[in-house]
């Protein structure tokens, strides 16, 4: 199994026409938690949203021919919108590709940019299936592949447990060769890429390494590290 991470940006600059109307009132989709096609041709999408809840509700109520049902709730500091609507043809095709057999996709799917709208997607499957899905996607959107690697479920889970900033620091460190032997980069090199200080990079890397070690090495007190015959 292989894992690929990539961004997609529709050629027209947005996934669904409704996004553009929301941009005009400073409401933006931040992530897609899930989506499902329904028998009547509508799609049910759960979004994380950045913006004012009442403004979003007003916009959705104004287009009953587009939005069949909408539920907007505040979950802590996160605004969540469960929308059942008639998707544009391009958005429908992009979602349909994501439901093709043989590939799994990580949720939530994050919007990494707006105006134009860009999603970052991580998918896992065989090389052939991933290649086919990317080829279909390129017919509808600009695709930028960030990485392709063998899929390790445990490693992926540990990586996802890091904060977004920690993930960014770690990926930059790896890309610059910080963990090569001998090292090809310093804290200062990483800091220059991330526009921060070398001391901040050092703090992040120490915390990252402590967290990864703690989740990788068995607890000495739980008995799992013992082997018959040990002194």
Q: What is the pLDDT of residues 140-152, one digit of tens each?
A: 999 999 888 887 6
Give the model's confidence band at 219: pLDDT under 50 very low, under 70 low, under 90 confident, else very high: low
Q: 54-79: per-residue pLDDT in tens?
A: 999 999 999 999 999 999 999 888 99
Last residue of a domain, one of 109, 133, 150: 150
Quote helix, strand, coil % in the chain, to nearest 5: 35, 30, 30
CATH of the domain at 189: 1.10.10
Statement to judge: residues 125 and 194 lie in one domain: no
Statement to judge: residues 6 and 112 lie in one domain: yes
User: Which of 21, 13, 210, 6 has the alpha carbon at shortest distance from 114?
Assistant: 13
Tokens 């590290």 correspond to 225
Residues 92 and 108: their CA atoms lie apart, in Å, by 18
Statement to judge: residues 32 and 57 lie in one domain: yes
Collapsing DSSP to helix, strand or coil, 61 comes out as helix
C-alpha torsion angle, residues 41, 44, 47, 52 (rounded to 10): 80
Q: Which domain holds residue 114?
A: 2-150
Give the model's confidence band at 220: pLDDT under 50 very low, under 70 low, under 90 confident, else very high: very low
Q: Tell me the percentage of the chain whose pLDDT exceeds 90.
A: 69
Statement to judge: residues 125 and 158 lie in one domain: no
Question: What is the tally of structural domains in the chain?
Answer: 2
Statement to judge: residues 163 and 120 lie in one domain: no
DSSP H helices, the chain, are: 17-23, 53-61, 89-98, 127-138, 153-160, 164-176, 187-194, 198-216
Residues 176 and 220: their CA atoms lie apart, in Å, by 34
At residue 160, what are phi and psi to the nearest 5 degrees? -65, -25
Inside any domain, residue 40: yes
Last residue of a domain, one of 109, 132, 150: 150
Residues 35 and 47: their CA atoms lie apart, in Å, by 9
- 34 sits in the region (left: phi over 0; alpha: psi -120 to 50; else beta) called beta
Statement to judge: residues 82 and 142 lie in one domain: yes
Let me know the angle formed at the C-alpha of 94 by 134 and 109, rounded to the nearest 5 degrees: 85
pTM for this prediction: 0.68
Question: What pLDDT score does 212 carry?
Answer: 82
Last residue of a domain, one of 114, 134, 150: 150
Statement to judge: residues 145 and 159 lie in one domain: no
Statement to judge: residues 140 and 163 lie in one domain: no
């Amino acid at each position: 199994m292989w894992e690929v991470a990539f961004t997609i940006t529709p050629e027209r600059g947005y996934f669904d026409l409704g996004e553009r109307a929301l941009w005009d009132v400073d409401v933006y989709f931040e992530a897609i938690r899930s989506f499902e096609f329904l028998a009547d041709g509508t799609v049910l999408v759960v979004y994380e949203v950045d913006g004012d809840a009442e403004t979003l509700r007003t916009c959705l109520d104004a287009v009953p021919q587009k939005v069949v049902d909408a539920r907007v709730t505040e979950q802590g500091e996160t605004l969540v919108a469960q929308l059942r609507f008639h998707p544009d043809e391009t958005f429908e095709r992009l979602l349909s590709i994501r439901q093709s057999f043989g590939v799994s996709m990580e949720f939530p799917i994050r919007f990494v940019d707006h105006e134009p709208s860009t999603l970052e997607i991580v998918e896992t499957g065989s090389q052939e299936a991933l290649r086919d899905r990317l080829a279909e996607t390129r017919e509808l959107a600009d695709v930028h592949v960030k990485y392709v690697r063998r899929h390790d479920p445990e490693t992926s889970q540990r990586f996802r447990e890091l904060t977004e900033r920690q993930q960014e620091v770690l990926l930059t460190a790896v890309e610059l060769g910080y963990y090569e032997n001998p090292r090809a980069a310093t804290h200062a090199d990483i800091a220059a890429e991330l526009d921060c200080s070398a001391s901040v990079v050092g703090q992040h890397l120490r915390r990252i390494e402590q967290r990864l070690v703690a989740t990788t090495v068995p607890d000495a007190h739980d008995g799992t590290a013992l082997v018959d015959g040990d002194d």
